[in-house]
Amino acid sequence: MILVTGATGNVGRPLVDALLAAGAPVRALTRDPARADLPDGVETARTDELPLDGVDAVFLNPAVFWNGVGELLDRAAKEGVRRIVTLSSASALTDDPENFIAAHHRDMEAQVTGAGVEFTHLRPEAFAANCLQWAEGIRRHGTVLLPYPQARTTPIHEADIAAVAAQALLTDELLGAFPLLTGPRALSFAEQVRLLSEALGREPGSELRVERISHDSALEGMIAGGVPHAAADTLLKMFREATDGAATPVSPEVERITGRPARDFAEWAEEHVTAFR
């Protein structure tokens, strides 16, 4: 049995599908199983119950355990869980002591590594789905408010993360590995807005617009939206540092592991146009 935490999330949901397609038994954790709308054949359970009986492997989404993974690891040891695959972050590659996000993911990795189980730590770059935070502004005004529109990331399609996670859970190929996962090219936020505009079929003269806002205004908006202050501050500092053209280099790991090229952001945009209309 494979336990998928965050099973209705951007990575968890396609991972459930990938595991089912491979014939693996899946137990999906979600806050509200009655509304999860998961496929037939998936066993569902509440996240706060954390049922580990009969579980061999766990997909660990840190967003579900933001306050720490200690309870999960203690219970996993008692229940005989053999393998944990963590959804870490490319930010773990930086050793900046002030980078809150990097420190959080490195700490999670260290706890799992020291827990005496088989492990794989997936280190994806920015999720393509991060741009969903622009959806309301696009729907209402056709405008995206950005403090650093030229900040560059190497956005990855969440289905590619899920495909790698499935390999790590189902095979021994990635035991002890820390694969860096990126999309096929670096893009600025402004370029991502342009690709969304093209996917939406915006005619010349009615393209989506980027409006520059201040660092402080962006920080206030993120905090108001529920992002912890430390995380919001760290993200904005990372975006500011990425405005000089630097971005996480394109990694070959998605294609090496899955046998297919990483999906482009433009493909993600085409698949998600309904969220922006």
Q: What is the pLDDT of residues 96-131, one digit of tens each?
A: 777 888 888 898 999 999 999 999 999 999 999 999
Whole-number pLDDT of residue 255: 97
Model pLDDT for residues 218-253, shown as the tens digit of each residue: 999 889 888 888 888 888 888 888 886 567 789 999
What is the residue type of 115? A
pTM summary value: 0.93
Whole-number pLDDT of residue 156: 97
Residue 41 CA, distance from chain mean position = 25
In a domain, 165, yes or no: yes
> Which residue range forms the structural domain that includes residue 95?
2-124+158-182+249-262
Element (H, E) at 94: none
In a domain, 7, yes or no: yes
* Nearest of 105, 107, 109 to residue 84 by alpha carbon: 109
Tokens of 171: 């095979």
Number of domains the chain contains: 1
Calculate mean pLDDT across residues 197-202. 94
Q: What is the CATH number of the domain that holds 23?
A: 3.40.50.720
For residue 242, give Cα distances in angstroms to 75, 147, 153, 220.
40, 12, 8, 20
Q: How far apart are the first and last CA of the chain?
A: 39
% of residues, the chain, pLDDT over 70: 99
Calculate mean pLDDT across residues 169-192. 96
